[in-house]
Amino acid sequence: MKNLYEKYFTKQKMMRTVLIPLIIISLFSIYNFGWRVLALLLLNLFVAMVIEYLCEVKLYKRKKISEAVIITSILYTMTLPVSLPFWISAVGIAFGIFFGKMVFGGFGKNIFNPALVGRVFIYINFPNPLTIAWNEAAKGLPGGFGAFTLPHIDALSTATPMLAFRNEGVLTNISDLLIGNVSGAIGETSKVLIILAAIYLIYKKVASWQIMAGSVLGFSVLSGILNLMGVETIPNPIYGMLLGGFLLGTVFMATDPISAAKTVPGKWIYGLIIGIVTVIIRGFALFSGGMMFAILMGNTFAPIIDYVVRQRKANKKSKEAVV
């Protein structure tokens, strides 16, 4: 089995490090929503590997596919509601891998985060399953470990903490938000696990703390100002960061080393853009979330930001040399 794996996959230490906290979050997600989480994950992983194999090995004539495809598949699954039809999920990951990664030349050459490219594609084309089909979260044991999926939620306006605040002004208990016993996308609910994952990834030096800090700073400052100004659609910064997929996106997707900014000043600017844009979309757009759009917007500007930072540095050196 090991030889078979090594035959098709390129070893990537960084990806294996990221995989550890994602497995823990996935296990909690199964407890929270049922074994359908695992079924979606395995389907997405299979489709993603097939698409990448056909492109990397057959089209680009490379020997193996990247272990990054495993991370992409898990992250994509973590952004979905557990009740999403399997065929829509498969279409999304196929689109994300091909148009978000392979059309740019494969691993290491993509401009956008492929998991979010797939998620945005199905969000735009199949909005109802992505926005109105939510399931209850587990309470007690065995939780989701004893069911394929938990019951649907009928009260749409308060189905998730984000919708409850946006539609009714209802503030979910912070302890529930931290632990994760709330409805929402599969992997976004347990904020404690995501925060622990951030600490672990920073300690292992596989995720940029500057990007995370920039994102949190941009989000906190703008949401704090707007909240003090009395904008009803903007909660206080701490509560706002615990809603929806902000922390999941900040820790795992904004820090994607391929699509994020590379220079140190660029990482701060990139993170600030993501945090600020998330607040603007949440508070003033039709979308209840906004993190996925904010990260893709950050991906768009990341190469430009790095270019400007490097040019300024080069110009500074030229002036110093002349003097």
Q: What is the pLDDT of residues 119-150, one digit of tens each?
A: 999 999 999 999 888 999 988 889 899 999 99
CA distance 91 to 103: 16
Neighbours of 197 (CB within 10 A): 22
240 and 174 together in one domain: no
141 and 248 together in one domain: no
32 and 155 together in one domain: yes
Segments forming the whole domain that contains residue 187: 1-206
Nearest partner of 167 among 176, 159, 157, 177, judged by Cα: 157
12 and 107 together in one domain: yes
Query: What total of structural domains would you count in the chain?
Result: 2
CA distance 289 to 119: 13
166 and 200 together in one domain: yes
| Cα–Cα separations (whole angstroms), residue 60 to 9, 11, 55, 103, 133 | 15, 19, 6, 11, 39
24 and 153 together in one domain: yes
Per-residue pLDDT of the chain (323 residues; tens, 9 = 90+): 556 566 667 777 888 899 999 999 999 999 999 999 999 999 999 999 999 999 888 888 787 788 899 999 999 999 999 999 999 999 999 999 999 999 998 888 899 999 999 999 999 999 999 988 899 998 888 989 999 999 998 877 778 888 888 888 888 899 999 999 899 999 999 999 999 999 999 999 999 999 999 999 999 999 999 999 999 889 999 999 999 999 999 999 999 999 999 999 999 999 999 999 999 999 888 777 789 999 999 999 999 999 999 999 888 877 776 65
285 and 270 together in one domain: yes
| Domain C-terminal end among 174, 206, 238 | 206
183 and 303 together in one domain: no
| Domain C-terminal end among 206, 239, 267 | 206
Which residue is it, tokens 């389907």?
43
145 and 166 together in one domain: yes
171 and 215 together in one domain: no
Residue 65's beta-bridge partner residues?
A: 9
180 and 119 together in one domain: yes
CA distance 103 to 135: 35
| Domain C-terminal end among 206, 236, 261 | 206
53 and 157 together in one domain: yes
